[in-house]
Amino acid sequence: MSLIEKTASELLALQKSGQLQATEIAEAFLNAYAAREPQLQSFMLAPDASVVRQQAEAIDAKRKKGQPLGRLAGIPVAIKDVLCTRGIRTTCSSKMLEHFVPPYDAHVIERLKAEDAILFGKTNMDEFAMGSSTENSAYKMSRNPWDTERIPGGSSGGSASCVAGGQAPLSLGSDTGGSIRQPAALCGLVGMKPTYGRVSRYGLIAFASSLDQVGPLAHDVRDCALLLETIAGHDPRDSTSVNDPVPPYTQTLDQPIKNLTIGVPKEFFGQGLDSEVESAIRQAFREYEKLGAKIIDVSLPHSPYALAAYYIVAPAEASSNLARYDGMHYGHRTATPGDLIATYSKSRAEGFGKEVQRRIILGTYVLSSGYKDAYYLKALKVRRLVKKDFDDAFQHCDVIMGPTTPTAAFKIGEKANDPLALYLSDVYTVSCNLAGIPGLSIPCGFTRSGLPIGLQLLGAPFTEEKLFRIARMYEAVTDWHTRRPKL
């Protein structure tokens, strides 16, 4: 296995044993970026080769002197371009923020720097994280390394594409309705949406503030746990950040859950689920049964309404959050002169793409006088019922499992003119965000045409440690996570 196909944990071990230097790792991934980026289009902003080399040299120098090193020393981490990076452009893949250079780092970027990670470029995404395919980027179309004619998922499509494609061993994404788990599933990776409040949102450019969470993408469960362990924890700058200690996820990873009970919701196995995806999920259940797990049926009766509720709550919050981008206070300003209202209108029309405009209009409508009660407040009531469904189900099981996505990756352009069909890509993931619980996607097979399939694990609030251990049980007896696309 080449250097770029190794996991972060393997690269850390090789450095610790003296067989590898951080500079060698940096060069390997810089070369992979140069060779593969024209094909994959994973990055919004390229890694700065000179800065990457300087970071790697500094880590090697510290190791040579015997100085203490962080837990991610020498490991390149790609950053979704929705996270603020001091002195480096942060665009959200939007023309609206094309020239925005933040004066500060997001909390998770501070954590990566403190642990000696090498910041490795900014990844492409759906504009303002609104989309499920990365086709909504204002700049480029990221591609799936398993089939470059297909989408990598979204909105963290670039973050998934670059890791699956061997351009970085780890990446950060954000998940508002499935934007980490869905691309992880479609690209054959492990992706975690933490419990709401587990990871600080300070410096995360907001889409829907009550739903957004930052999380890791990686090749295997151990790397995913390592990255979450690094970025999680309390931050007083985020009022929704929970002040609970972060469990040592990587230390307990190989301790199986005894008397494991898996809940399977009947609502996740209905119309629209691809037969190959369902077959792979059912086979994963059989593997768990061989490991001693008990499979039971559970019901999430309000989950059929979750997608509709999500597409009211999320656009409503987006309408509010994106109101600041008016060409006066923030963001792109039109070059066409006019009065105040004309400047606002033209700036926003030029700066926002069609999908962002669609969601702003929808969100403004459901918040408007005469419609707020009929739509927005009703959606909040459905959200509470969705959360109660999970609370009730977890009284009977340790984890809920099902498909991450209804299909494998679809072809670029296949759903571009049908927003509703695209929204249905998130049918199994949005309820997790509405309920604020943790969700994890792990690879569990491939279609006959060689496309990855993801198994989704959902847990009660702040049970990330348990989810990692349950995922590791399956990973230890299968090899899906070791497979790499041929590029």
Q: Point out the residues that are catalytic.
A: 80, 155, 179
Decide the pairing of beta strands 118-123 and 43-45. antiparallel
Rounded to an integer, what distance in angstroms lies between the CA atom of residue 2 and that of residue 224? Answer: 20
Tell me 88's DSSP state. Answer: B
Rounded to an integer, what distance in angstroms lies between the CA atom of residue 211 and that of residue 215? Answer: 13
Per the structure block, which two tokens stand in for 182?
Answer: 């869905």
Q: Are 319 and 360 in contact (CB under 8 A)?
A: yes
CA atoms within 13 A on the CB side of 339: 1
Any bridge partners for residue 191, and if so which? 217, 441
Q: Strand, helix or coil at 438?
A: coil
Q: Strand, helix or coil at 196?
A: coil
State whether the Cα torsion 216-319-419-370 is positive or negative: positive
CA atoms within 13 A on the CB side of 162: 37
Neighbours of 275 (CB within 10 A): 8
State whether the Cα torsion 233-239-243-247 is positive or negative: negative
Per the structure block, which two tokens stand in for 55?
Answer: 């970071």
Peptide bond into 345 cis (omega under 30): no
Give which of 101, 77, 82 is closest to 155, Cα–Cα. Answer: 82
Neighbours of 386 (CB within 10 A): 24
Decide the pairing of beta strands 170-175 and 76-80. parallel
Tell me 176's DSSP state. Answer: S
Rounded to an integer, what distance in angstroms lies between the CA atom of residue 262 and that of residue 472? Answer: 15
CA atoms within 13 A on the CB side of 73: 20
Q: Are 203 and 212 in contact (CB under 8 A)?
A: no
Per the structure block, which two tokens stand in for 123?
Answer: 């990844």
Q: Rounded to the nearest 10 degrees, what angle do helices 221-231 and 107-114 cross at? A: 110
Q: Strand, helix or coil at 227?
A: helix
